[in-house]
A and B are shown apart, each in its own frame.
Chain A
């Protein structure tokens, strides 16, 4: 898998461009709920954050997790339970979900990190399937029904989240916080070591780095951020169900990230937006969504191996070289 790529941040020319693009995107996100259905936008934001969290692991550490649904869906259950049954304030509930996902990340990561490549992917898949089974069996998740009717409540006891706009801006704030956290992790002293491990693990070991600890650290951070997305989704849609913990969800986040571009900051967001938009708009048509997404996926893998954003960045990088 082409994981040995890194684009933004290192490219000073791209930095100004990305700042401008970022400002435009932020303005767009702030204005979006006046043009588009807020629930649809919030769904994209949650999945985009989920994909970015997943990308932290595959794009910057080179680890393909096939079990991220456990963190996303698990956090949704924790948040839903804390808010509905214990009557917690929604933000605390979301943070509780993220903390729960981080704890699961610590356990699953601790076991999986010892293996690489396909074995790592299989262990994460197996453990997340076990978790999905537990979710089906234990009483607090309500089995096939899931936890329904989670109240959105009042943020910090003040802001009424049953107002779609309020809920949207809170979701946007959580999304921006999550993306900033990922960006900070990637461009930090710690992130530098992660890149070194991805580039040449044996060399990193021979320089005295206990690489397993770095990988586990990244795994837990990725799980926590996936949990942040999952917990938020539970508040936004007011339910948590088995759909979010099953392996199809792990597959979907891989698809989103691959489509957008592994190892790029915005690729996973674009991929998530595309997949969710397609699912949304095709839901009412006769055309089967999965077939179309399958076709797009095949085209993408055959023609744009770096993903949509990855290819665009590659083009931008190539241009100035040609003119010199």
Chain B
């Protein structure tokens, strides 16, 4: 997977290897979320190319990218607030199971999705809350629900935008475990500010600053890079 050449981000050639957890870090405004938006086609690159599993996806629309198995999360938690936890996951299951366009069937026809949905909800430890509205969940649980919803698509690649942002200690541990578990047979690209999490979880780290790649490699290599220490860790990390 690679892409290069943007306006807000330029000359970024990033390749993520299948089956790895790859972190994208950098100071605020470095262009991390822009890269995410470009990868998932929420933004269109001015120049450059994006390919996924050998296919050029540069010209696709967001929904088409998602259908290929490249599914993202958002920085601000992305749940459907007034739907129940169960419904949130069912919405994700409806399309792959071909139960999304039938306007003549009763909603009860969706109960065939319940088994799989509850499995996914159980995997993120939300079984006790399955019938609550998503808006009633705590922040950490909303993020967990978001991951369950994303996993419902069984994506080949997950893009997680700051999964730990705004979380307490216990939540961080829980979500980190969850990411490690789901990454077993998938590729994960995550933007994350919490460097302990990055050091712990990620196989490879790319540091972005002012829209350009500053450093790339394992956490040890990257954290030893003097340019990275100066631009990023020197000011933000302990």
Interface residue ranges, A against B (CB under 8 Å): 4-6, 9-10, 184-185, 187-193, 195-196, 199-200, 202-211, 214, 217, 221
B159 CB to closest chain A CB (Å) equals 9
What residues of B have a CB within 8 angstroms of the CB of A189 in the complex? 94, 99-103, 105, 107, 109-110
Name which of B1-9, B21-29, B82-90, B222-230 contacts chain A: B82-90
Name which of B66-74, B169-177, B178-186, B188-196 contacts chain A: B66-74
Nearest 5 pairs between A and B by C-beta? A208-B66, A190-B103, A199-B80, A203-B78, A196-B91
- Asked if residues B91 and A188 are in contact (CB atoms below 8 Å), the reply is no
Provide a sorted-by-A list of 9 A–B residue pairs whose CB atoms are within 8 angstroms.
A185-B103, A188-B102, A199-B80, A202-B74, A203-B78, A205-B62, A206-B62, A210-B61, A211-B63
Q: Which residue from chain A places its CB closest to the CB of B110 in the assembled complex?
A: A189
- Asked if residues A204 and B82 are in contact (CB atoms below 8 Å), the reply is no
Known: A189-B99, A199-B80, A199-B81. A207 touches B66 (CB 8 A): yes
- Asked if residues B94 and A193 are in contact (CB atoms below 8 Å), the reply is yes
Distance, CA A191 to CA B101, complexed state (A)? 8
Known: A188-B106, A193-B100, A217-B103. A200 touches B71 (CB 8 A): no
Distance, CA A217 to CA B100, complexed state (A)? 12
- Asked if residues B80 and A190 are in contact (CB atoms below 8 Å), the reply is no
Interface of A is mostly: helix
Distance, CA A190 to CA B42, complexed state (A)? 24
Q: Is B35 an interface residue (CB 8 A)?
A: no
A26 CB to closest chain B CB (Å) equals 20
What residues of A have a CB within 8 angstroms of the CB of B78 in the complex? 200, 202-203, 206
Distance, CA A70 to CA B2, complexed state (A)? 49
Interface centre among B40, B63, B71, B104 (most CB of A within 10 A): B63
Q: Is B126 an interface residue (CB 8 A)?
A: no
Q: Is B116 an interface residue (CB 8 A)?
A: no
- Asked if residues A192 and B72 are in contact (CB atoms below 8 Å), the reply is no
- Asked if residues B83 and A199 are in contact (CB atoms below 8 Å), the reply is yes
- Asked if residues A188 and B66 are in contact (CB atoms below 8 Å), the reply is no
Q: Which residue from chain A places its CB closest to the CB of B103 in the assembled complex?
A: A190
- Asked if residues A184 and B106 are in contact (CB atoms below 8 Å), the reply is yes
The A/B interface has a contact count, at CB < 8 Å, of: 105
B45 CB to closest chain A CB (Å) equals 18
> In the complex, which of the residues A6, A10, A191, A208 contacts B95, with contact meaning CB atoms closer than 8 Å?
A208
- Asked if residues A207 and B103 are in contact (CB atoms below 8 Å), the reply is no
Q: Which residue from chain B places its CB closest to the CB of A221 in the assembled complex?
A: B103
- Asked if residues A4 and B82 are in contact (CB atoms below 8 Å), the reply is yes
A224 CB to closest chain B CB (Å) equals 12
> In the complex, which of the residues A10, A191, A195, A200 contacts B103, with contact meaning CB atoms closer than 8 Å?
A191
- Asked if residues A192 and B107 are in contact (CB atoms below 8 Å), the reply is yes
> In the complex, which of the residues B40, B63, B79, B90 contacts A209, with contact meaning CB atoms closer than 8 Å?
B63
- Asked if residues B110 and A207 are in contact (CB atoms below 8 Å), the reply is no
A51 CB to closest chain B CB (Å) equals 20
Distance, CA A6 to CA B82, complexed state (A)? 8
Distance, CA A169 to CA B94, complexed state (A)? 39
What residues of B have a CB within 8 angstroms of the CB of A199 in the complex? 80-83
A181 CB to closest chain B CB (Å) equals 9
Q: Is B205 an interface residue (CB 8 A)?
A: no
Interface string of B16-45 (1 = CB under 8 A from A): 000000000000000000000000101000
- Asked if residues A207 and B82 are in contact (CB atoms below 8 Å), the reply is no
What residues of A have a CB within 8 angstroms of the CB of B94 in the complex? 189, 192-193
Q: Is B206 an interface residue (CB 8 A)?
A: no
Q: Is B215 an interface residue (CB 8 A)?
A: no
- Asked if residues A203 and B74 are in contact (CB atoms below 8 Å), the reply is yes
Interface centre among B61, B96, B107 (most CB of A within 10 A): B107
Q: A205-B63, A206-B40, A206-B71 are in contact. List 19 more A-B contacts (CB 8 A).
A: A4-B82, A184-B104, A185-B103, A189-B102, A190-B103, A192-B94, A193-B91, A193-B94, A203-B74, A203-B79, A206-B72, A207-B92, A207-B95, A207-B149, A207-B153, A208-B66, A208-B67, A210-B61, A211-B63
Known: A195-B83, A199-B83. A208 touches B106 (CB 8 A): no
